[in-house]
Amino acid sequence: MTITAFIFPGQGGQFVGQGREWAKNDPGSARLFQLADQASGRPIGRLSLEGPLEELSRTENLQPAVLAVGLAAARQLRLRGVEPAFAAGHSLGEYGALALAGVISEEKAFALVARRSELMARAAEGAGGSMSAILGLAPEMVEAVCELARHEGQVVAANFNSPQQTVISGEARAVAAAVRFAGLKGGKAVPLPVTGAFHSPLMAHASEAFARILDETEFARPLFPVSPNASGHPTDDPDELRDLLKRQMTSPVLWTRTIEGLAAAGAESFVECWPKAYLGPLIRKTLGPAHKAQVSAAS
């Protein structure tokens, strides 16, 4: 039997119509969009299915929408008989992984994500933050150019997505300076369509407020190991899962370590809980051509 890891994406891969067929044909999936609507008090289901994309992409709308679509994708996989032995999620996607593993209920996951998105959107307002993916440079070099750019403000390596893709985050002027230095080293920068400097010190106030909410949230032992962003190592310890989630808003997403750790733990198949391949290329680049793991999307 193939040992499978379910992988939940975060923000960035959204599109109008995401999950439409699942919501239309499966009452269980439609219920997930209803939970998103109820938890957020906003028309998340309508925005996911009908747009407009600009409104869907607002942090407070997008995060509940991505959670709904990710859980709907996982539901479709399980209806087909595919069962996970591990789960992980990229940034926001960690909440889908935790709900799938039974650490928190789906209702609680939507309530937490609704509050998380509000706090992050508020922190982003007026902070002048931005994010850019740096392609073609080793992570160590990206960290070095961030260090060179800090005379312009705060900027950090925020997402270690693959050996050749690292996302930087921080104050816009500092991110722009780091992008210039990366260009001089042969790197290519791609600005990300986000509204704030996520996974950076600019999220500290939101992180502190959300940590208090997590302290009041019961975490159950997972049905199977979950690999948190802040460590990249699979665990079934609920206290560790909570503590690492409390760090997530300001700590980097150790995605390369996460995928390598799942492979080392025995994962043979990585199935992305999303209608289209989004994280799959990053997983393949991280594992390398010599690794024979299967990588696919829910569709």
pTM of the model: 0.95
CA 82 to each of CA 3, 97, 291: distance values in angstroms, whole numbers, following the listed order: 10, 15, 21
- Identify the residue whose tokens are 């997930």: 32
Residues assigned a catalytic role: 91, 199
Helix residue ranges per DSSP H, 125-237? 139-149, 172-184, 204-215
Distance CA 214, CA 203 (A): 16
The rounded Cα 271 to chain-centroid distance in angstroms is 15
- Among 222, 201, 203, 4, which Cα is nearest to 94's? 222
- Among 6, 66, 2, 1, which Cα is nearest to 222's? 6
| Low-confidence spans in the chain with pLDDT less than 70 | 290, 292-293
Distance CA 54, CA 49 (A): 13
Is residue 146 within 8 A of residue 168, CB to CB? The reply is yes
Distance CA 274, CA 38 (A): 22
* Both structure tokens of 299: 């569709």
Q: Provide the pLDDT for residue 292.
A: 67
Helix residue ranges per DSSP H, 223-279? 238-247, 255-264
Q: List domains and CATH numbers for the chain.
A: 4-124+201-297 (3.40.366.10), 129-191 (3.30.70.250)
Q: Provide the pLDDT for residue 267.
A: 95
Residues facing residue 294 across a β-bridge:
269
- What are the pLDDT digits (tens) for 133-165? 999 999 999 999 999 999 999 999 999 999 999
